[in-house]
Amino acid sequence: MSVNIDKLTLTAARSPSALVNCAQLLTLAGPNRPRTRGEMRELAIIPDGAMFIRGSKIEAVGSRSHIEALLPDDTRIIDAGGRVVTPGFVDAHTHLVFAGNRADEFEMRCSGITYQEIAKQGGGIRSTVRRTRAATEDDLLSTAQKHASWFLRGGTTTIEAKSGYGLSVEAEMKILRVVRQTGQTEPLRCVPTFLGAHEVPEEFLGRTGAYVDLVIEEMLPLVAVEKLASFCDVFCEPHIFDQQAARRILQAARRLGLGLRIHADQFSCSGGAMLAADLGAVTADHLEHTDAASIAALAAASVQPVLLPGSVYSIGSRHYPPARAMIDAGLAVVLATDFNPGSSPIASMPVVLSLACTQMKMTPAETITAATINAAYSLSLGREVGSFETDKSADFVIHEANDFREIPYFLGTQRPAMVFAQGERVVF
Ligand code: NIG
Ligand code: FE
């Protein structure tokens, strides 16, 4: 695997380091809250910026001359080579852990069969569930570690990772343990989300209510006791888990202390976003079909929308979520990959940023805010990652670019020159 913690860097970890020679240091410094409206375009860029790093944390951020004056003699210099440096991307919606892939269904979609038709024929999420149930925990871990290396290579240093391809008590816990182990073994911060209500499993077909009972009575209490997740998510669509079922599950999760996220209005405007607003969820994700009234409700409840243009693109739809209307309504928009084997086999945040610019008419600056500081707040990590400020984690990406707008502009050609997580270089 090409992603490794540099042993030399590790031994030198106690000596301080300084990042210098950044054409643009995008600090994203600002108020201690997610950014809205015009703030999303304010990246707090320092030209010829620099950073002083001690261990895993940022100690000071400023102009090169200001930072150089602070440096002790034994400082290790990281030369950005006149490139652009951003905080590590925070990908706030991924399905990290699954077995196999669905390249066969991808080929079917290319010949005109839709994502939903494939799901109705027993493919889709259920086909990945069959394979994930059959996989050992060790096999799932090595696949998840491979996926982690893909995220890191794209400049992502924090992800949210959902379960949801187990759909049984045992298999859901197996997946959440793999999320935890991935975060412990790889230099990728992983925030776990329980998504037991991702689909109704085969053995419960026609008995959705009984499956919802299993999620509430057996899975959620175990998740809480073993502290396997920080958030609970539900796939809320009329033909999967309707508003009423989603509400029951999310209310039970809240009683156990979990934060709430919802897959909402992906295929129809069916009350998912309204439910998120009503429950005061942290995020409502997808929102491809969300209407103006739901946007107003999300704004009133300060729910963060997590937009996933990679999944719209990959299923061959043109129905992107109304990002501009959301920004105009004051919503603190987040962008994420939705990395999964079906609707979004995309682990690259730069690709998502590019789609957000061209298809949703977000500006390059807005996409960077949505993929860093706003995403960090949506995971309750706004004080730890997502911007360059004193005491935050030294997670940063040296991009192969001299101007930050090149990040979404040169689609598919570049990968970051260097990626650092907690002060250590993780991609070579
Ligand atoms: O976010 N919509 C539900 N879940 C995923 C797709 C999962 C799959 O196709 O395997 C999503 O798009
Ligand atoms: Fe998803």
pLDDT digits (tens, 9 = 90+) for 22-66: 999 999 999 999 999 999 999 999 999 999 999 999 999 999 999
Percentage of residues in the chain with pLDDT exceeding 90?
Answer: 94
Residue 286 alpha carbon to ligand 1 centre in Å: 10
Question: Residue 342: CB within 6 Å of ligand 1?
Answer: yes
Q: How many CB atoms lie within 10 A of CB 405?
A: 17
Question: Residue 160: CB within 6 Å of ligand 1?
Answer: no
Confidence category of residue 368, pLDDT binned at 50, 70, 90: very high
| Residue 355: closest CA among 377, 323, 387 | 323
Burial (CB < 10 A; 0-12, 13-18, 19+), residue 257, is: exposed
Which residues contact residue 227 at a Cβ distance below 8 angstroms, ignoring those fewer than 6 apart?
A: none
Residue 237 alpha carbon to ligand 1 centre in Å: 12
DSSP 88: P
Compute and round to an integer the Cα radius of gyration of the chain: 21
What are the CA-CA distances from residue 313 to residues 301, 383, 424 (Å)?
29, 32, 34
C-beta of residue 182 within 8 angstroms of C-beta of residue 34: no
Q: Is the pLDDT of residue 6 over 80?
A: no
Residue 100 alpha carbon to ligand 1 centre in Å: 15
Label the pairing between strands 231-236 and 304-307.
unpaired
Q: Which amino acid type is present at position 54?
A: R
Question: Residue 310: CB within 6 Å of ligand 1?
Answer: no
Q: Which residue has the higher pLDDT, 9 or 409?
A: 409
| Residue 422: closest CA among 183, 237, 216 | 183
Burial (CB < 10 A; 0-12, 13-18, 19+), residue 94, is: buried
Residue 203 corresponds to which tokens in the numbers above? 């053995």
Residue 129 corresponds to which tokens in the numbers above? 């569930």
From the CA of 91, which ligand is nearest? Answer: 2
Confidence category of residue 413, pLDDT binned at 50, 70, 90: confident
Compute the average pLDDT of residues 129-139: 98
Phi first, then psi: give them for residue 185, nearest 5 degrees: -100, -20
Residue 263 alpha carbon to ligand 2 centre in Å: 7
- Taking the chain, what is the end-to-end CA distance rounded to the nearest angstrom? 11
pLDDT (tens digit per residue) in 138-183 = 999 999 999 999 999 999 999 999 999 999 999 999 999 999 999 9
Q: Which amino acid type is present at position 88?
A: G
Which residues contact residue 107 at a Cβ distance below 8 angstroms, ignoring those fewer than 6 apart?
A: none
Q: Is the pLDDT of residue 346 over 50?
A: yes
Confidence category of residue 428, pLDDT binned at 50, 70, 90: confident
Question: Across-strand partners of 55?
Answer: none
Question: Residue 263: CB within 6 Å of ligand 1?
Answer: yes
Question: Residue 181: CB within 6 Å of ligand 1?
Answer: no
Residue 200 corresponds to which tokens in the numbers above? 């109704």
Average pLDDT over all residues of the chain: 96
| Residue 169: closest CA among 215, 102, 105, 132 | 215
pLDDT (tens digit per residue) in 254-269 = 999 999 999 999 999 9
What are the CA-CA distances from residue 264 to residues 94, 267, 295, 321 (Å)?
15, 9, 12, 11
Confidence category of residue 14, pLDDT binned at 50, 70, 90: low
Helix ranges restricted to H, 88-229: 103-110, 115-120, 125-134, 137-153, 169-185, 208-214, 220-225
Residue 389 alpha carbon to ligand 2 centre in Å: 31
Q: Is the pLDDT of residue 7 over 50?
A: no
How many angstroms separate the CA atoms of 276 and 391, rounded? 32
Name the closest-CA residue to atom 8, ligand 1.
342
Percentage of residues in the chain with pLDDT exceeding 70?
Answer: 97
Neighbours of ion ligand 2 (CB under 5 A): 338
Question: Residue 341: CB within 6 Å of ligand 1?
Answer: yes
pLDDT score, position 11: 43
Confidence category of residue 415, pLDDT binned at 50, 70, 90: confident
Name the closest-CA residue to atom 6, ligand 1.
343
